[in-house]
Chain A
Amino acid sequence: EAQVTQNPRYLITVTGKKLTVTCSQNMNHEYMSWYRQDPGLGLRQIYYSMNVEVTDKGDVPEGYKVSRKEKRNFPLILESPSPNQTSLYFCASSLSWQTLPYEQFFGPGTRLTVL
């Protein structure tokens, strides 16, 4: 089944403890992206990647890192999480940004709480 998976789905952690949220897609998509969803603010893009080894900042990249060593994986790294990073995180992928249709396929979300 074609899908985007994220792990873990739920995570409670403490301030300063490094964590990684994994994202994987099995559709051979070139484009992958991370978003956070907060009440009243909608979805905001954190980082995106046009292809392997190509990443770029979205609107809210501070406090996050990403890497794209292989096409299928796009992990989100929080080196020193803080309470203001408590949020619902979504990973998404799409075929390519060079051609239409640009449809993004979203993962199920990861709910992160930083105490």
Chain B
Amino acid sequence: AQRVTQPEKLLSVFKGAPVELKCNYSYSGSPELFWYVQYSRQRLQLLLRHISRESIKGFTADLNKGETSFHLKKPFAQEEDSAMYYCALVTKGGKLIFGQGTELSVKP
């Protein structure tokens, strides 16, 4: 079955602490994975995609095919990182599957 799992509903850290938002997937083919972010009162927007191997706003994510994971990491969290984060997978047929989302709260 095709599935994206984000095991944490809420992750609360202090400013300056490292952050890791977990994402595991189940997909038989070669996955295309993304992280989307939704800041308060704003639209969902793309944060990063695994194919680009980029770092956006200090966040990185590495695809680990052995562990079927695509965890999002940032070494030093900032208050403005507080938002809802969604991991998503695209199937070959064009279907998009999102995880349940993790709310990140960065305290001062």
Contact = CB atoms under 8 A, between A and B. Distances in A.
Contacts of A101: 49, 51-52
B25 to A, nearest CB: 13
Interface string A73-95: 00000000000000000101000
A109 B44 CA distance: 10
Interface string A40-67: 1111110010100000101100000000
Interface residues of A, number: 26
A97 B97 CA distance: 14
Q: How large is the interface on B (under 10, 10 to 19, 20 to 34, 35 or more residues)?
A: 20 to 34
B51 A48 contact: no
B93 A56 contact: yes
A33 B94 CA distance: 10
Interface of A: 31, 33, 35, 40-45, 48, 50, 56, 58-59, 90, 92, 97, 100-104, 106-109
